[in-house]
Structure 1
Amino acid sequence: MPSTGPRSLKQPSVVRCRHPRSRRHRPSKYQSKRSVLQPIHIVRGTLNSSTEIIPIADEKSTNTSQYNSIRQEIPRSAQLSPFQPKTSSILHARKIADRKIHVDPLYFNSDLHSHVSSCNGSYAEKRDLLATVPASISSSTSTATVSSTTTTTATICNSSCVNQTWLSSSDLLAKWTFNGTFLDETATYSAMPVNSPSFISSGYVYQSLSLSAASSQFIYSPYIPLLNSSFTIEVWLYPTGYPNSIDHSILGLCTYPGSDYCLHITIRESNITHIHSLYMSFFGDTCETSVSVPLNTWTHAAFVFDINILEMSIYLDGYLIGAAISAIPLQGTTNPVTIGYIPGIVTTYGSNYYQGYMDQLTIVSRVKSECEILDDASLVTYYTFDNSPVYDDSGPNSLTSTYLATSFALAGHSGKAISFNDSTAYLQISGLTALGTNNKAFSISLWIRPYALSGTLVFVSSSPSGTGWCISMLGFAVNGSIVAQILSSSAESVFGPAVPVSSTWHHIVQIWSSTNGLQLYIDNVLVASRPSVITYSASSASNYVRLANRPNNACLYGGIGLQNAYSGEIDDFKIYSRELSKDDVCALYRS
């Protein structure tokens, strides 16, 4: 069964090189003033406020009194570290054919699941590449009650990609969901199949395209305007084999192989490291990464070209893994776009049919930001409950839902909310592949306003009926405290305090990763954690998430008990397929 794989990929440091390019190859309007071959190492720092609220909680002490007294003000003097060049060389570069510089990284970072990658390009710009594009840093206030005395302390959220806004469909050129059809959602670039490619039911989002290299299968669409233009191309990949000697093609727009006239996006085997990694080239100017694309795992890939700075960028699972500068934009004629095979590179690189599955292939005629790409890769579902009379997913995957005996509350935490006031009431979301993956990090965020301190908030199962693999992940203990749990060898739980039944909304975040274990935040405070819970035994299937009810008492319930229905309201429900940072939680809380 396809899965997203047990990885928690962090943003790599990016090493750039600058290299002179012969002026005779570059039109005057693209001339660069840079002409020195120079390795550049970027050193990150952390921006802290003069005061920072530090929550203290662990698996040994998580009682209510601690929650009420947990906030304390601690002066901080650390500032953003300036960029400093590394004193010793961390790469060596040598010129090779096809107007490229080959960059060999010499250091290994085990946190990345592979070594830090570099791109081959005619030259590369020095650029500030932090973990994400920083969001605006602003402040809000949070209130805690201690012995009937209310204290208000300023809270600073450092940079975070959550809660930034963009219109994901802006400048959309084409989108293929591959849900049993080759039709493009814009009805403009519907694809034609060659040699009978098919679909599988276990895609990343419902169905996906299945391509066999042995059967020479691929699809193609009419010309899409990528010439002399900015673009972002995103796709979910699940390769099942690497039968070719060099390339396994993802997408191409090729006039002829040379002089920036042939866009070819592939998974390429390096002739140096012999790993299979993401590759993007105009055939002349090239970006080749060094992070392995694993077999039999769903991986998100994004390829960006910015015509304003002539930069190619490649992202893996939402994180930038390499960039390079092209002399000129993509040139050529209005040929068809091919998916899964590129005929124009066969004479140079040989057979290049893709082997495996593809899903959610999207092309837009603009440069997506790093934060938007991270959301596309890791925001699994997002229900705002603002679009009455329908419940729809505002996230990138448009997951569908069913519901029973629910209503809209006009005064939600933000806009409207969903209300549950019946023992049979629920809302169930389908198609959560990442949440069904063993040891895959996840985060669940929601706002609640309970009418009573009992019931299940979030129930997860491998079947729509709630049978099979199933567990209550968030809910209330019999004493009214908040419980978060996962399935390891058994149900592993952490217990927070009870929140008051009142008109006040409360923010709940459950986080799990193999690095930091199980964590529970309430109202921007880490109230409980168990770092020792480092295994998540998932369903290995596309999961269903049910809000406010548990249909099957035969399922694991752990510390939540056998209560069924939650009575109250829920707003801004989100699931991420990554571990949120404390700054992410802070940004969600002050939203």
Structure 2
Amino acid sequence: MHNGTPTGSPSLVFVQGYVGQAISFAANSSQVVTTSYIPLANTSFSVDAWIYPTGLTNILHQSICGICPAKVNDQCLHMTLRHTGSYYSLYFGLYGDDVNSNTAVLANNWEHAAFVFEATTRTLFIYRNGILLATGATSSVLKVTSGSFQIGNLPYLESTFNTFQGYIDELSVSGRVKSACEILEQATLAARFSFDGSSPLVDLGPNTVSSLASNYSLVSGRTLQAISFMGTSSSFFQASGFLALGIANQPFSISLWVQPQLLAGTIMHVSTNSSGTGFCAPFIGFASNGSLIVQLMTNTSYAAISYSSLSLTDFTHIVQTWSSTNGLRLYINNVLVGSIAATTYQTVSSWINYVTLGSCLNGCVSCSAVPGNQVLPGSFAGAIDDFRVYSREVTASDVCTLFAYS
């Protein structure tokens, strides 16, 4: 366990983060969070964090974290945003053995940054939002055997200010190489609820999203257990903190298994208030004729896809995806059954969203009034299993994996 100690001026403050709270740094300050030495010398390791730069102003570096007691080759571990020409990019090095991602990081956006060092091959890897951007070879492993692990500021890296400007959240250090698929899941799996075991409402994803449920039961699912709803307004499941669905034009995917008792009601509802109101939209549900509807709000109206052959006797796998490139897509049991052009995804600029399964709560009327809505509002009676939300458009290959193994 390595507990951090904040120091410097002005005092550090906490703000709404990617998940829960994040720590806020100012570039022209001496702010830093310090822990005891973390033994990363002579070994492989992985470091990752969510970052939100609110400005890009430093002359050379905006430090994310590292161990740098002195500027000595292979003894100054640093992970930063480095000023590279006209932009700032993720940068990773041991000092003298460094790699630059050479890809611009924009201000006022949450980005997942991952830095991996493989000691056997002496290779550095930089990932952004789960995608490998750059690799580089080093002449040595990390040799630094003392000094504090520092977050937000590496005072010995440069004589000028190199404090991070913005927010850092969910920073973790692992004494092993994280695989590419593990980093992709960590960066893009917003939440996963399997509804299994003795704690069926616990998020099994990397973000530990909060959840609650009311008037539900647990029944036999597609695998193990599923959550079952009664078809009343008081029977629902709700998770909060879905930043992945709260960013306009951010690609997303929703995956779940459904076994309805009736072809009616709202299966999934998104809102900025826990009551189901505010900026809100029914994403998945049924039309008045019993057809399954998946939809999203564009700048002016809903774009929707319908499917008319949903089973009442078996669990059906539903995957809804959206990106500006491919628009809205619907997969049923690993088959692409519908696609519609939709170049925009409209939401509210909020870092907190509530996702409700089984009901639209108090938002049934107001949230369904936007032109183009095809979901007939109401409560859902039936079972849902293995519910997942991703902050990316999953591929057809991903859909196949979810269908076969979830």
Aligned with 2:269 (options 459, 462, 476) = 459
Q: Residue 522 of structure 1: CA displacement?
A: 1.0
Identity %: 41
Secondary structure of the corresponding residue to residue 20 of structure 2: coil
User: CA–CA distance in 2 between the matches of 1:305 and 1:261?
Assistant: 14
The residue that corresponds to 1:322 in the other structure is 134
Which position in structure 2 is the counterpart of 1:546? 356
1:361-383 Cα offsets, whole Å, 9 max, x none, are 01111100000000011000000
Matched, 1:363 2:173: yes
Deviation at 1:243, TM superposition (A): 2.1
Q: Trace 1:73-472 onto structure 2 (pairs within 5 A).
A: 188-195=1-8, 196-201=11-16, 203-270=17-84, 273-347=85-159, 350-409=160-219, 411-423=220-232, 424-472=234-282
Helix, strand or coil: the match of 2:150?
A: strand
Q: Is the 8 A contact 1:303 1:315 kept in 2?
A: yes
Q: What's the counterpart of residue 286 of structure 2?
A: 476
1:412 counterpart letter in structure 2: G
C-alpha distance in 2, partners of 1:510/1:206?
26
Measured after TM superposition, the shift of residue 390 of structure 1 is: 4.0
| Cα distance in 2 between the residues matched to 1:227 and 1:403 | 46
Instruction: Tell me whether 1:561 sits opposite 2:372 in the alignment.
Output: no
Compute the displacement of 1:239 (Å): 0.5
Give distance in 2, aligned partners of 1:487 and 1:259. Answer: 53
**Residue 198 of structure 1 aligns to which amino acid in structure 2?**
V
Q: Please report how far the alpha carbon of residue 259 of structure 1 lies from its aligned counterpart in structure 2 after TM superposition.
A: 2.0
Instruction: Answer yes or no: is the 8 Å Cα contact 1:255–1:333 preserved in 2.
Output: no
Q: Which residue identity does 1:315 align to in structure 2?
A: Y
TM-score, structure 2 length as denominator? 0.95
Alpha-carbon spacing, 1:236–1:413, altered in 2? closer, same or farther (3 Å):
same
Question: 2: distance between equivalents of 1:473 and 1:236?
Answer: 27
Q: Is this contact kept in 2: 1:497–1:527, CA < 8 A?
A: no
Once residues 575 and 394 of structure 1 are traced to their aligned partners in structure 2, the CA distance between those partners, rounded to angstroms, is 12
Corresponding letter in the other structure for 1:191: G
- Asked if the contact 1:480/1:498 (under 8 Å) is kept, the reply is no
For the pair 1:509 / 2:322, whether they are aligned, the reply is no
Deviation at 1:586, TM superposition (A): 1.3
User: Match of 1:537, as an amino acid?
Assistant: Q
Q: Which runs of 5+ in 1 are unaligned?
A: 1-187
Which residues of 2 match residues 501-540 of structure 1 at below 5 A? 501-502=312-313, 504-531=314-341, 533-540=342-349
Task: State the 1:389 CA deviation.
Answer: 4.5
- TM-score, length-scaled by structure 1: 0.66
What are the within-5 Å matches in structure 2 for residues 1-16 of structure 1? Answer: none
- AA of the residue aligned to 2:66: G
Give a deviation string over 1:111-133, Cα, whole Å, max 9, x none.
xxxxxxxxxxxxxxxxxxxxxxx
Amino acid at match of 2:304: S
In structure 1, how many angstroms separate the alpha carbons of the residues matched to 2:118 and 2:327? 39
Give the whole-Å Cα distance in 2 for the aligned partners of 1:314 and 1:308.
17
| Cα distance in 1 for residues equivalent to 2:383 and 2:179 | 33
What one-letter code is carried by the residue in structure 2 that aligns with 1:572? D
For residue 190 of structure 2, give the secondary structure of its aligned residue in structure 1: strand
Q: Contact 2:271–2:354 (CA<8 Å) still a contact in 1?
A: yes
CA radius of gyration, larger in: 1
Following TM superposition, where does structure 1 have runs of at least 4 consecutive aligned residues deviating by more than 6 angstroms? none
Task: Provide the rounded CA distance (Å) in 2 between the counterparts of 1:280 and 1:209.
Answer: 21
Q: Cα distance, 1:422 vs. partner?
A: 4.3
1:512, distance to aligned residue in structure 2 (A): 0.8
Query: Cα 1:214–1:343, aligned 2, differ >3 Å: closer, same or farther?
Result: closer
Provide the alpha-carbon RMSD of the alignment: 1.2
By how many angstroms is 1:301 displaced?
0.3
CA distance in 2, matches of 1:491, 1:368: 40
Helix, strand or coil for the counterpart of 2:277? coil
Task: Say which SS state the counterpart of residue 559 (structure 1) adopts.
Answer: coil
- State the 1:580 CA deviation: 1.0
Residues 258 and 283 of structure 1 are in contact (CA less than 8 Å); yes or no, is this contact kept in structure 2? yes
Deviations 1:30-51 (A, max 9, x none): xxxxxxxxxxxxxxxxxxxxxx
Letter in 2 for 1:337: F
